């Protein structure tokens, strides 16, 4: 685990943008595609705008980018709370990523059906990835064991190439209650060991959501938390310095199996963990 502490959110976003570009170059040396998981929330908005700016746009091979989301609020795409809408408004409408390589979590169908559909897409992309956290004797999921999506899947690049990893890079946010993705304190999904995608009802915010789970995220090659603001300082210190108690601090379940974990913090968010 590595810490990167920036003076402010602007410097943080610049560092993350440069890190994304370097990580993408590294992965594309051995693969024909780069898979990235986008985060919702307020922190990444300026990052997405920066990536779409003239300063960075020409440094990224957008044709090889495959885009996913970590979680989604179960609201229409037209709703400003929709994570995918925010990413399109700030980034994806301004860069040439092929539409067939952008995979939103659907909110126009039942949440369970949406989670099943998304999981099937992921298992088509990453057929060789299995989690070491899977409970012994449990049924391993395969694409055929899930409900068929209502829309046909686009065939991903390099389909059928087995890999022990999943995403090339995952961007994660953090709530002041130490949640990440839609893994909230006290929710059963925090301890999920088998499913890669779950539909959940989060009592704390009284909302249905669709979320990736720890097993699929922890198989990623690069994972980064992006955290800014003094209101997150307590959560950051609890997660990084306290004992492992994920029921209280769900972000603690993010522990890459073989990948890289970075925390990009501004000084305000890092005030309790500065070294």
pLDDT at position 137, please? Answer: 32
Task: Please write the tens of the pLDDT for every residue from 30-44.
Answer: 999 999 999 998 889
pTM of structure? 0.89
Cα–Cα distances (Å) from 219 to 177, 248, 256, in that order, read: 25, 23, 6
Highest-pLDDT range among 26-30, 158-162, 196-200: 196-200
What pLDDT digit, counting tens, does each position of 63-78 carry?
999 999 999 999 999 9
**pLDDT score of 162:** 54
pLDDT class of 154 with cuts at 50, 70, 90: very low
Residues 6 or more apart in contact with residue 237 via CB below 8 angstroms = 272, 273
Q: What is the mean pLDDT of residues 249-268?
A: 97
Say whether pLDDT at 150 is over 90: no
Query: How confident is residue 164, by pLDDT bands cut at 50, 70 and 90?
Result: confident
Report which of 181, 168, 175, 176 is spatially closest to residue 256, judged by C-alpha positions. Answer: 168
Residue 181, Cβ density class (10 Å: 0-12 exposed, 13-18 middle, ≥19 buried) = buried
Residue 128 has what pLDDT?
79
Structure confidence at residue 42 (pLDDT): 85
pLDDT-above-90 percentage for the chain: 84
Say what the pLDDT of residue 43 is.
87
Q: How many Å apart are CA 154 and CA 139, to the nearest integer?
A: 26
Model confidence band, residue 130 (pLDDT cutoffs 50, 70, 90): low
Tokens matching residue 66: 């495959």
- Cβ contacts of 128 within 8 Å, gap of 6 or more: 161, 162, 163, 164
Mean pLDDT value across residues 79-88: 97
Helix, strand, coil percent values for the chain (each to nearest 5): 30, 20, 50
Residues 28, 187: Cα–Cα separation, whole Å = 37
Angle formed at CA 184 by CA 89 and CA 262, multiple of 5 degrees:
65
Q: What is the pLDDT of residue 110?
A: 98
> What φ, ψ does residue 15 adopt, rounded to 5°?
-65, -40
Residue 140: is its pLDDT beyond 50? Answer: no
What value does the mean pLDDT take over residues 115-137? 76
- For the cut 70, the answer to whether the pLDDT of residue 268 exceeds it is yes
Short-list 175, 139, 134, CA closest to 43: 175
| Mean pLDDT (whole number) for 20-33 | 95
| CA geometry: angle 130, 186, 132, nearest 5 deg | 15
- Provide the pLDDT confidence category of residue 163 given band limits of 50, 70 and 90: low
pLDDT value at 99 more than 80: yes
Query: Tell me, what's the pLDDT at 275?
Result: 58
Strands across the sheet with 207-212, in order? 71-73, 207-212, 197-202
CA distances from 123 to 20, 126, 187, 210, 246 (A): 24, 5, 25, 17, 26
Q: Report DSSP letters for 239-256, one per residue.
A: HHHS---TTT-GGGG---
* Torsion sign across C-alpha atoms 235, 240, 241, 243: positive
Q: What average pLDDT score do residues 11-16 get?
A: 98
Is the pLDDT score of 46 beyond 60?
yes
Domains and CATH numbers, the chain: 2-266 (3.40.50.1360)
Alpha-carbon torsion, ordered 173, 179, 181, 183, to 10 deg: 170
Q: Is the pLDDT of residue 151 over 90?
A: no
- Average model confidence (pLDDT) across the chain: 89
């Amino acid at each position: 685990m590595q810490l990167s502490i920036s003076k402010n959110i602007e410097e943080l976003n610049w560092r993350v943008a440069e890190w994304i570009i370097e990580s993408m170059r590294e992965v594309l040396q051995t693969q024909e595609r780069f898979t990235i998981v986008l985060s919702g929330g307020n922190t990444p908005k300026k990052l997405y705008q920066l990536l779409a700016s003239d300063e960075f746009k020409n440094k990224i091979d957008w044709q090889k980018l495959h885009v996913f989301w970590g979680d989604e609020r179960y609201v229409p795409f037209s709703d400003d709370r929709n994570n995918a809408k925010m990413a399109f408004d700030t980034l994806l409408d301004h860069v040439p990523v092929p539409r067939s390589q952008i995979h939103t979590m659907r909110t126009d169908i039942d949440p369970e059906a949406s989670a099943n559909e998304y999981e099937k897409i992921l298992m088509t992309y990453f057929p060789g990835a299995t989690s070491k956290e899977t409970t012994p004797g449990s049924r391993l999921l395969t694409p055929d064991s899930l409900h068929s999506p209502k829309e046909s899947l686009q065939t991903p690049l390099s389909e059928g190439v087995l890999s022990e990893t999943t995403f090339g890079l995952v961007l994660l946010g953090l709530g002041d209650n130490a949640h990440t993705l839609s893994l909230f304190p006290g929710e059963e999904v925090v301890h999920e060991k088998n499913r890669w995608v779950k539909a959940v009802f989060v009592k704390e915010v009284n909302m249905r959501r669709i979320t990736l789970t720890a097993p699929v995220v922890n198989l990623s090659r690069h994972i980064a938390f992006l955290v800014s603001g003094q209101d997150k300082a307590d959560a950051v210190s609890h997660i990084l310095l306290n004992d492992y108690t994920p029921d209280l601090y769900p972000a603690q379940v993010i522990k890459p199996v073989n990948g890289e974990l970075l925390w990009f913090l501004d000084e305000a968010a890092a005030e309790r963990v500065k070294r």
